Amino acid sequence: MSSIRVGLMVPINNTTMDRELTAWLPAGSSCHTLKVPRGPGLLTRESIPAYVDGAIDLAAEYTRSQPDLLAYGCTAAGFLMGPSADADLSQRLERASGRPVVTTANAMVKILQRTGARRIAVVTPYKDEVNRQLTHYLEASGIEVECLNAIPVANTDELGRVTAEQVDEMARQTVNDRHEALFIACSQLPTLTILDALRRDLGIPVWSSISATAAIATEMMTMTTKGG
């Protein structure tokens, strides 16, 4: 697979996704990252409309740089809006940018559906409201969140200080023999260095927001190339 030029949109506080996404994409791939403005607090249902409007405005910048596709890397926003609103946002971003779009929330569903998992464990750094919406989002696609554990963070500064070791520890505490897959949600959480070991030790599919986005983006470009 040839390299991919990704137009990546993430919250202004995100320091993880462009680096890890590039590592999971085909060799030579690159990210042109635009950061969506937001306050220091974690996203809520009330703050989503302004956040989404900011993302739509920024997406128009990609009409000039012309990446191969646009990756919308705010997982929590997708959960809070729900599947239909996330799909609508994807269409709005595509119209604004002129590029095909993958969202982390939709990538999560596609990847988990392909594993065949129906009962999963989830690790997040989110508050209860977002975790409830994440659970509903997956249930709408026939996937039961049997166990969800959240790494406690109060704001974006604390979120940015979460380490891969903390994520790994929480993941191992969360999974049990009933679970058919594990998903680590949030494009700020670092997972590049831990997923292979988790898959080996837990013996089940393990995905994160970033790895799922990379997989679906690569698939989209592969299909486009074959179609051409």
Q: Are 20 and 191 in contact (CB under 8 A)?
A: yes
Task: Say which CATH number the domain at 186 has.
Answer: 3.40.50.12500
Asked if residue 228 has pLDDT above 60, the reply is no
**What pLDDT, on the 0 to 100 scale, is given for residue 74?**
85
Quote the domain boundaries for residue 99.
5-104+211-227
**What pLDDT, on the 0 to 100 scale, is given for residue 165?**
98
Q: How many domains does the chain have?
A: 2
Mark whether 86 and 160 lie in a shared domain: no
Predicted confidence (pLDDT) per residue in 28-42, tens digit: 999 999 998 776 666
Higher pLDDT among residues 127 and 6, named by residue: 6
Predicted confidence (pLDDT) per residue in 139-181, tens digit: 998 999 999 999 999 988 999 999 999 999 999 999 999 999 9
**What pLDDT, on the 0 to 100 scale, is given for residue 49?**
76
Asked if residue 200 has pLDDT above 90, the reply is yes
**What pLDDT, on the 0 to 100 scale, is given for residue 226?**
62
**What pLDDT, on the 0 to 100 scale, is given for residue 76?**
76
Mark whether 76 and 117 lie in a shared domain: no
Mark whether 100 and 123 lie in a shared domain: no
Taking the C-alpha atoms of residue 73 and residue 141, their distance in angstroms, rounded to an integer, is 20
Mark whether 111 and 204 lie in a shared domain: yes
Asked if residue 45 has pLDDT above 80, the reply is no
**What pLDDT, on the 0 to 100 scale, is given for residue 135?**
94
